Amino acid sequence: MTSTTTDDRATVTSVQLTQGTEAPSVSDRVRRFLAETPPPTPCLVIDLETVRRRFAEVSSALPEAGIYYAVKANPAPEVVRALAALGCSFDVASPAEIDLCLAEGAAPETISYSNPIKKAAQVAYAYARGVRMYACDSEADLDNLAAHAPGSSVFCRTLLRDKGSIYPFGRKFGCEPEMVVELLARAVELGLDASGVSFHVGSQQLDPAGWDSGIATAAEIAAALRDRGVELTSLNLGGGLPASYRTQAPPLAEYGAAIRAAVARSFGEHRPRLMIEPGRSIVGEAGVLRSEVVLVSRKSYRDDTRWVFLDVGKYGGLVETEGEAIAYPVLTSRDGGPTGPVVLAGPTCDGDDVLYQHTHYELPLDLAAGDHVDILSTGAYTASYSSVEFNGFEPLRTYCVDGAE
């Protein structure tokens, strides 16, 4: 087994699951790493073999699609390197993510700059580094692309009324379909390659049919452009494929079948090349966040509910507990004995730094300061969201483990 840390500066026994679901597990590799070379807590441990397995699962669910890993989900260089070695492509949102992908072995033609919000200088930088695929949703960005990334392929992002996801994107990205038609027609006039439509159904999309309306909208846009002599070649299905947390997500194969059927229904004989940009579904289940109990307390002598304060909270990377949207499975070093209800909270002096007070969690009654609490399925949107140094707490460190079980 090899392990590396991505920043120069998790023994486990109860998974709490909604009834009828299968427990996410800690691989032997991660278990051994945490037992033999325990790093200071809190820390995120990524199992690279799980990353590879999930990449293979997404590929086999949708073999006809190019897979562009959304680097923002987890930018650990080891993750990017492992995926590049498997022939994965990359969805990036900034020059720094481009540099990271190139440094870890990605070819520039496998990189899609999918953030529609970018400065002219950032476009120019991306183009200079060889990136030739961009998403846009505005005239101003299109003009920047024509000026600073001449001849590049452009996706225009359409707005959707997204339903079924835990994290809908609202109206920040994309524009109305009739504007997409105009922007793509204009892209051709500006000498760009009008490649196709992109959309995002919202992250952690729990409905495999959640892509249907975006695919139908994209087909209408493609038909309107065909009437104007512009033939779109591709369709970018964005992110949204789920990971399993306390609740098991539907199998990825169901998503592949639903997407394939929707493309056939909506596009008929004009089938586009497909691209998908999974983030969470590839790295989410690969992560275990090892934390330590700082303090266990009660708010009154009559309270059954204990407050368990961990050395990681919202600002240390568990941002997706906001609104208690994601309920992570939790294991402790004292599992096995009697348990009681807890509120889980982070270590900072911020009143919002509470992880779960409405979602029911039970932890061992003898849990005490110094015990470990391992938070599972934390590979996505944790380390990349952790604050730089709020209240003096350093950013979440990532360790990647690899090799035989």
Residues with catalytic function: 349
Q: How far is CA 130 from CA 98, 105, 126, 133, 182, in A?
A: 10, 14, 7, 9, 27
Q: Smallest gap, in angstroms, from Cβ of residue 404 to ligand PLP?
A: 29
**Residue 158 DSSP class:** B
Nearer to ligand PLP, 248 or 305 (CB): 248
- 3-state secondary structure at position 304: coil
Max distance between CA atoms of the chain, in angstroms, equals 75
Token pair in block for residue 85: 């070695």
Q: Smallest gap, in angstroms, from Cβ of residue 377 to ligand PLP?
A: 13
State how beta strands 273-276 and 354-364 pair: unpaired
Q: How many CB atoms lie within 10 A of CB 72?
A: 20
Q: Smallest gap, in angstroms, from Cβ of residue 396 to ligand PLP?
A: 18
Nearer to ligand PLP, 133 or 342 (CB): 133
Q: How many CA atoms lie within 13 A of 72 on its CB side?
A: 14
Return residues touching ligand PLP (CB under 6 A): 70, 72-73, 91, 114, 200, 203, 238-241, 277-281
Q: Which of 170, 187, 283 is nearest to 232 (CA)?
A: 187
Q: Which of 224, 219, 229, 232 is nearest to 193 (CA)?
A: 232
Cα 269 to chain centroid distance, Å, stands at 33
Token pair in block for residue 137: 């949703």
CA distance 288 to 79: 15
Q: Smallest gap, in angstroms, from Cβ of residue 32 to ligand PLP?
A: 29
Q: Residue written as tokens 């991660």?
A: 30
Nearer to ligand PLP, 255 or 361 (CB): 255
The closest residue (CB) to ligand PLP is 239
Q: Smallest gap, in angstroms, from Cβ of residue 41 to ligand PLP?
A: 26
Token pair in block for residue 321: 């507990």
